[in-house]
Amino acid sequence: MSVMPITYGITAAITVAFAIGVLLAKRPLLAGYLLTLTMVGLGALFWELKSPLLGGIQILVYGGGVLVMVLFVVMLTPSGQKVENWSSSWSALWLLSPLAGYLAFRSYPVHGPVISGRILGVALLTRQGLSLEVLAVLLLLALVAALAIAMTQKGEKTP
């Protein structure tokens, strides 16, 4: 038996466990940290599915950029209160973690294709050049829109 399906199953179980942690977390900041770990786990899953570049991008974008933003917002907004608790019977959700791990282990695509950075780069630059430019413009517009939304208007009180 190959090592890869076992690793894939264990990683899937850990990732789902972190997601359950986000669901059951009592404090928003703890949920943010657990979400970071969930995204890192997903990046590892992508790598195990033979897509190392996409795994790296997943960790960089979600684990890095988006999560830093989420944690900033958690700190900047007046959300010091605790999240409402669920009854203890919801802790049975933890059973989903080994279940997901087992299912992932059983269904690991052993003969799946390799999506390397070279394949992705060639596809992007030879066939999807326009789409790549459109994405760059989208990101720029998102940045400008975020600035415009977050700016304080004239006559408006700041907290």
Partner 1 sequence: MIYLPCLILALLGLGIVIKNRQAVLMFMGVEILLAAGNWTALLAADQHLINQHVAVFVLFSIVVAAAEATIGLSIVLRLAQRHKTIDVNRFSQLRDGRD
**What's the token pair of residue 89?**
């019977």
- Specify the residue, 7 or 83, whose C-beta has the smaller distance to partner 1: 83
- Report in angstroms how near the CB of residue 15 gets to partner 1 at its nearest: 7
DSSP-assigned states of every residue in 98-124: HHHHHHHHHT--TTPPP--HHHHHHHH
Contacts 24+ apart (CB under 8 A), 72-78: 74/28, 74/29, 74/32, 75/29
- Report in angstroms how near the CB of residue 56 gets to partner 1 at its nearest: 11
- Report in angstroms how near the CB of residue 17 gets to partner 1 at its nearest: 10
- Specify the residue, 3 or 147, whose C-beta has the smaller distance to partner 1: 147
